[in-house]
Amino acid sequence: MDAQLKRGVLDLCVLSQLRKRDMYGYELTETIASELEITAGTLYLVLKRLKDNAYVETYLVESSSGPARKYYHITPEGLRYQEAGKKEWEQFVERTGRLL
């Protein structure tokens, strides 16, 4: 599929989830992969890129049942990016919806 489009959709979905609350990698990939035709592996690379772009940051939380979990937190830049993306997406759906 079109890489740019896929990238945009994935970024938006991941950031929108993180807007609700901080999540660790596994639960985030489970949530996204239950709706999108995408493998968990690809999502880790999306997360890595979002982190490189400073849209998300990470911190470790000790877990009683195993190794420490790395949580993802959306940054102020990430929030702005998510809001702009969501607006564009809604416009797109509304306009195409009128034409279909």
Residue 8 within binding range of another protein, rule CB under 8 A: yes
67 lies in the binding site for another protein (CB under 8 A): yes
Q: Tell me if 25 contacts another protein by CB under 8 A.
A: yes
Subset of 28-57 contacting another protein (CB under 8 A): 29, 33-42, 44-49, 52
Phi, psi (deg, nearest 5) at residue 62: -65, 140
Asked whether the beta carbons of 28 and 47 are under 8 A apart, the reply is yes
HSE-CB at 42 with a 13 A cutoff on CA atoms is: 12
Alpha-carbon distance of 56 to 59, in angstroms, equals 10
Kindly state the smallest distance separating residue 43's Cβ from another protein, in Å.
9
Residues that bind another protein (CB under 8 A): 1-10, 24-26, 29, 33-42, 44-49, 52, 65-67, 69-70, 96, 100
